[in-house]
Amino acid sequence: MINTAPLTPAKLLPCLHTLHALKMPAYLHGAPGIGKSSIIRDFAASRGLELIVLMLSQIEAADLRGLPALDHQTRRTRWYPPEFLPREGAGILFLDELSAAEPRLQVAAYQLILDRRVGDYRLPDDWWVVGAGNAPDDGALAFEMGTALADRLVHFKVAPEAKEWVRWGQNHGIAPEVLTFIQVKPDFLESNQLQQANNQLIGPTPRSWERVSRVIEAEKERANREFLVAGIVGEAAAAEFFHVVEEMKDLPPVEKILAAQGRELDALLPKNLAGLYGLTYSIAGYVGDLKDAKNAMRALIRLGEIGDDNLPRAEIQALAMELLFEKAGKRGFLLQLGQSEEYSQYREKARQIVELK
């Protein structure tokens, strides 16, 4: 049992910065597919570090230690280390699926983690070792970790969180349909425990939703989509997903919404929860310049003014504005957007709402 408090990838990030500075080895525990590898890839990219990933479930103990060779001068055996271990520079050596490695390989990995060496090989000073794996109760192939190794690692139990993953997906090109679904049905982001309880082979995970995103962008035929998505996340999750997609089907093209005004705009704006969130993520993905951003802001202002339903329009409008400002900052026109007439109108509407409250 992993007796430490679970944390999300965003909360894990500052901890990784600290451990990287100290070169103190870390270990990420978590169910299959929750994004442990993605966390390390993103961390390495953010620091400009080289990343070497060793899938320990796919190599032998001798592959890590190297091969013995006779030194004819000294008449002694020397070990030739494998080419995949780093020789210089700075980076991260990521030992993935460590818990699935057979015991003899784990012993070799232990020496690399604990002593920063294996055989005659020494890990360069500016390289940091991180491990990751699943626990036996995650339903994956895993061996128990010995206390000798556990005592030398800093352990993290990684647990995905829907809103955080949606924000990550927004920055990694995940399809609006998938982002909208997880926003509306957050319990379907990951269901490892339920999957095991029902003895099901497949189920939704953050990694599988990435694959769903690629599938629905490549395949437009509804029948084919249904088979493909069900094969990735399971029948129940796929049924719920396509129910939300069905509610989004009448969402007009974003460019048409941004070009409309007055009654035409009112008629185009969505009138259900899935459609509103779908519009939010579609706008954030579509906007590319200041003109688009101004038109988007005008549409979002109107979105908050119309409708006598019980939908959380103000909350969705605030989310859409946040994503719009973030996109403007990345594209370099945030200052111009903040000086625009549309932004002044938005601030005035927000002030009036606060005063009414």
Residue keyed to tokens 């005063």: 355
* pLDDT tens, N- to C-terminus, the chain (357 residues): 678 888 999 999 999 999 999 999 999 998 888 889 999 999 999 999 999 999 888 888 778 877 778 878 888 887 788 888 999 999 999 999 888 887 778 878 888 888 888 877 899 999 999 999 886 565 555 667 777 777 888 999 998 899 999 999 988 999 999 999 999 999 999 886 666 556 667 889 999 999 999 999 999 999 999 999 999 999 999 999 999 999 888 889 999 999 999 999 999 999 899 999 999 999 998 999 999 999 999 999 998 888 767 889 889 999 999 999 999 998 999 999 999 999 998 888 766 654 544
Q: Say whether pTM exceeds 0.85.
A: no
Q: Which two structure tokens, joined as six digits, stand for 183?
A: 């926003």
Ordered alpha helix ranges (H), the chain: 9-22, 36-47, 61-65, 103-115, 147-150, 162-170, 176-184, 192-197, 206-218, 222-233, 235-248, 254-259, 262-268, 273-286, 290-305, 313-331, 334-338, 341-356
Q: How far is CA 355 from CA 304, 306, 317, in A?
A: 16, 19, 18
CB 216, CB 225: distance < 8 Å: yes
